[in-house]
Amino acid sequence: METTVSSGFSAKLIAFVKKNIVMVIAFFAAVITSIFVPVDKEYLGYFDYKTLTCLFCVLAVVCALKNINFFYMLARKVVQLFKNARMSILALVYITFIGSMLIANDMALLTFLPLGYLVLTTTNKTKYMAFTFIMQNIAANLGGMLTPFGNPQNLYLYTAFEIPNLEFMKIMAPPFVLSVIIITVCCFIFVKPEPLELEDEKISLNPKRTVLYLLLFALSIAIVFRGIPYGVGLAVIPVVLIFADRKALKMVDYPLLLTFVFFFIFSGNMARIDVVKEFFGGLLEKSTLLVSVLSCRL
């Protein structure tokens, strides 16, 4: 009996590690650097509390909207406007593109990949499944680069360096436009304009919850764009969701938040190790761009 319980726990642990490998690596990196820099009061200064709060608020509200099928309904309505495989798949890709700008790339994929699967299976167009999934993945990552909250890295850079809203979007606009053009061309080349119909499905939204969650989402976006202090969101959003949708709070990607916490500890400790600081300082003086590109790939 004990052996069975032990093996079951081991299997769950291995599955958890595989699913959250980045968080696990960040954790061990934080622990190892803590050996060289013992825990003290300066650790409290490592964390970018606004980034963590913004990320938590956006993820929580997105989960609440997802629970009432808001994004699913929105996507279906858009897809139903088109009558062939090419335009429907292009619509799915664009929806993922736009979704990643508003709800972050990971959440966009979790929300819209199932929709792509449903559309293609119910219309017997599974031959386009692999292509659609690949394009949605590309769209999620490239679409998320345009807005400060499109992905966690953007949110951190935007917050840490206090980049003005228009300047941030202006910097990312050229590669964003190029990405849209390339994705569109690929869809036109590899997908034929075959007739496509989506089966009717009766789904309704709860009007009160929809309005409530959209207001919370607007609050989250206002916090990201520095229109409202992040403390307000941290006080309001969790409290509202406790009464409106506790499940949404449980669904938040906490391993992602912990990844940031461990990263802050790791980077804070590294900055306090003189040898490391001098080494990277010397490299950055030679080529900031090259070091940045290589370090982000490691």
Over residues 111-124, the pLDDT tens digits come to 788 788 878 887 88
pLDDT above 90 for 271? no
Residue 227's pLDDT is 77
pLDDT above 90 for 59? no
Six-digit token pair at 161? 């360096």
Above pLDDT 90, what percent of the chain? Answer: 33
Above pLDDT 70, what percent of the chain? Answer: 88
Highest mean pLDDT among 34-48, 150-164, 280-294: 34-48
pLDDT above 60 for 2? no
Under the banding of pLDDT at 50, 70 and 90, the label for residue 184 is: very high
pTM: 0.72
Distance CA 262, CA 23 (A): 8
Per the CB < 8 A criterion, the answer to whether 129 and 89 are in contact is no
- Out of 81-85, 138-142, 292-296, pick the least confident: 292-296
> Mean per-residue pLDDT for 122-139?
89
pLDDT above 80 for 281? no
Under the banding of pLDDT at 50, 70 and 90, the label for residue 280 is: low
All structural domains of the chain with their residue ranges: 46-68+205-256, 69-199
Check residue 163 and report its DSSP letter: -
User: Where would I find the H helices in the chain?
Assistant: 2-19, 21-36, 49-67, 70-79, 85-103, 105-122, 129-143, 152-160, 165-190, 207-224, 230-244, 246-251, 254-271, 274-286, 288-297
- Out of 36-50, 130-144, 267-281, pick the least confident: 267-281
Selected residue with higher pLDDT from 112 and 212: 212
